[in-house]
Amino acid sequence: MGWLELHVAETTVAIERSQQILATPKGVASCLIAFADHLQPSTSSVLRFSGVGRRDCGDGLRPQVVDDLDIRSELTRRMSLLDPQDRHVLFLWYVRGLHVDDISKELGLSRRQCFRRRAGSVRALIQLGRDSMEPPETRGDRNSLACAS
């Protein structure tokens, strides 16, 4: 097997792994939480999302960060397609770990709307993964997955 074939095979496995992990609400939530975990690289050159402090381990990257880079990249791609306020709700909820009362105050939404937007945004992230696996001609006219308020 040549270099190109090996690279294609590894990329295919990484894509399938990302799709599988990000296919459930639990998987999406755990990946969002992981953006602020202790495995975050101490360098800002690799998808740094939160200002939470990290202990430096010397070389800047921990092995699992590189292993999970495909998942972080796919989650980032999907997040970029969400409505900005929905993205903000998810960021405050999972990455910053704020309580729903604090999110409600910061965004000027009711608690109920925060819960609805969070649940709808997670469903949208899952659907974006399903849509990306469909051939373009079967997707229809779905330009945006903004959650209904």
52-90 burial code (b ≥16 CB/10 A, e <16): eebeeeeeebbeebeebbbbbebbeebbebbbebbbbbb
Average pLDDT over residues 119-128: 95
User: Confidence band (pLDDT; 50, 70, 90) for 61?
Assistant: low
Mean pLDDT of the chain: 77
Distant-in-sequence, close-in-space partners of 92: CB < 8 Å, separation ≥ 6: 98, 102, 103, 106, 107
Q: Which residue has the higher pLDDT, 110 or 7?
A: 110
Provide the CATH number for the domain formed by 3-39+59-134 in this structure. 1.10.10.10
Give the Å distances, CA to CA, from 78 to 7, 20, 28, 49, 109: 23, 14, 11, 15, 23
Q: pTM score, two decimals? A: 0.67
Which of these, 71, 72, 82, 24, lies nearest to 49 by C-alpha position? 72
Q: How confident is the model at residue 132 (pLDDT cuts 50, 70, 90)?
A: confident
Q: Would you place residue 94 in the very low, low, confident or very high pLDDT band (cuts 50, 70, 90)?
A: very high
Cα 94 from chain centre: 10
Q: What would the 3-class secondary structure string for 126-140 be?
A: HHHHHHHHCCHHHCC
Residue 110 three-state SS: coil
Residue 56 has pLDDT above 90, yes or no: no
Determine contact, residues 92/98, Cβ cutoff 8 Å.
yes
12 or 43, which is more confident? 12
Name the token pair of 17: 């792994």
